[in-house]
Amino acid sequence: MTSTQSIQNGFSATIGNTPLIRIPSLSEETGCTILGKAEFLNPGGSVKDRAALFIIEEAEKSGSLRKGGTVVEGTAGNTGIGLTHICNSKGYKALIIIPETQSIEKIELLRTLGAEVRTVPAVPYKDPGNYVRVSEKVASEMENAIWANQFDNLANRNAHFQTTGPEIWDQTKGEIHGWTAAMGTGGTYSGVALFLKKKNPKIQTVVAEPYGSGLYNYFKNDEIKIEGSSITEGIGNSRITKNMEDMPVDDCFRIDDVEAIQILNKVLKKDGLFLGGSVGINLASAVHLAKKLGPGHTIATVLCDGGARYQSKLFNREFLLSKGFDLNEIGFE
């Protein structure tokens, strides 16, 4: 990944080197500097472009992905979108297994990009019909195909250890006191946390959890246990993936959907930033961390993707009403 100042050679070379945006409303509110890594500006539109590129490049290097091969993956959408763009640019095919509960925008986008898309019911990981388990089985039964395996493939967090973490360190000139992010695979959180702790062990690294995820109770009470639910997508887990192993965790904040959507509407209306659901969890967690550390600190999080990917849900009055949200309370009206 090269400088944004020069000409980039094609899709893959354009991944990364995203801006780090100071969020005025949240910074003024907390007296801290709240920074968001603008991953929605990656060429495939999300933070997962980085992991997708590292996974494909590693499979090419190891020889497991050969000319004309197929990349198979179970994904909430964004990894699949990144993989499909890269597959197109390198002459591979993409076969994507996605839970049918994910936004129609992401599912349709995958089809438009040219992936073969199979939707499956949203069932827990222990069920063989789970999207991740199905993707592993489908890949194993195909010729010249690899399973990207983003949850347990360490190429995922290496992407963030080698690129996202160093970029945040350079962009803040090392003046950073906190890092927080929600986890799906855990690649983004753990790759950046491991890098920042290596640079300065005093930096606080904090996991943000939505309801409906099992890891808040794991960090607080040593027991994986799911409580409640969330309409956010791409985050939450009920197991410790390989990408999460040995990650530093100083604290964990659990954020509810009302707070997450309130903050999304605030940054849309006050800062002009139109962002996806997981970003609401991340920004709310950054505000909690700012309050914990006190004024004068610098806290970074990740702006995983843009709001247009969820227009039919998070930014749709009928959907929000059907889920029982009070439109005034969440700042929608």
**Angle of helix 48-62 versus helix 78-90 axis, rounded to 10:** 50
Which of these, 72, 57, 151, 86, lies nearest to 116 by C-alpha position? 72
- Euclidean distance between the first and final Cα of the chain, in Å? 41
Residue 142 or 226 with smaller CB distance to ligand PMP: 226
Part in contact with ligand PMP (CB under 6 A); list of ranges 6-14, 88-96, 164-172, 176-184: 176-184
Instruction: Check residue 304 for interaction with ligand PMP (CB under 6 A).
Output: yes
CB of 50 vs ligand PMP, minimal distance in Å: 9
Binding residue for ligand PMP, selected from 26, 34, 235, 299, defined by CB under 6 A: 235
As annotated, the active-site residues are 48
Is 301 near ligand PMP (CB under 6 A)? no
Looking only at residues 35 through 64 of this chain, which bind ligand PMP when binding is defined by CB under 6 A?
A: 46-48
Q: Does 209 bind ligand PMP (CB under 6 A)?
A: no
Residue nearest to ligand PMP (CB): 234
Q: Return the range that interacts with ligand PMP (CB under 6 A); candidates 87-95, 186-194, 206-214, 255-263.
A: 186-194
CA dist 185 and 201 (Å) reads 23
Nearer to ligand PMP, 146 or 302 (CB): 302
Please give the order of strands across the beta sheet that includes 145-147: 116-120, 93-99, 70-74, 145-147
Minimum distance, C-beta of residue 67 to ligand PMP, in the bound complex (Å): 29
Position 305 contacts ligand PMP (CB under 6 A): yes
Cβ distance to ligand PMP smaller for residue 44 or 187: 187
Stretch that binds ligand PMP, among 19-27, 177-185, 213-221, 285-293 (CB under 6 A): 177-185
Greatest Cα pair distance, the chain, in angstroms, is 57
Instruction: Name the token pair of 122.
Output: 């949203």
76 is a contact residue toward ligand PMP (CB under 6 A):
yes
What are the distances in angstroms from CA 254 to CA 16, 65, 156, 205?
28, 39, 24, 14
Contact yes or no for 50/304 (Cβ under 8 A): no
Residue 71 in contact with residue 65, Cβ under 8 Å? yes
Go through the chain and tell me how many residues it has: 333
247 binds ligand PMP (CB under 6 A): no
CB-nearer residue toward ligand PMP: 81 or 287? 81
**Helix count and strand count (H, E) for the chain:** 13, 10
> What x-and-dash track marks residues 252-291 binding ligand PMP by CB under 6 A?
------------------------x-x-------------
Residue 255 main-chain phi, psi, to 5 deg: -120, 135
What span, in angstroms and rounded, lies between the C-alpha atoms of 117 and 128? 18
Task: List CB contacts of 277: < 8 A, sequence separation 6 or more.
Answer: 230, 231, 232, 233, 234, 260, 261, 264, 310, 313, 314
Residue 210 engages ligand PMP in binding (rule: CB under 6 A): no
Cβ nearer to ligand PMP, comparing 14 with 241: 241
Determine if 84 is a binding residue for ligand PMP (CB under 6 A). no
Coil vs helix vs strand at 233: coil
> How many residues interact with ligand PMP (rule CB under 6 A)?
20
Query: Which CB sits closer to ligand PMP, 178 or 186?
Result: 186
Residues of this chain that bind ligand PMP (CB under 6 A): 46-48, 76, 78, 182-189, 233-235, 276, 278, 304-305
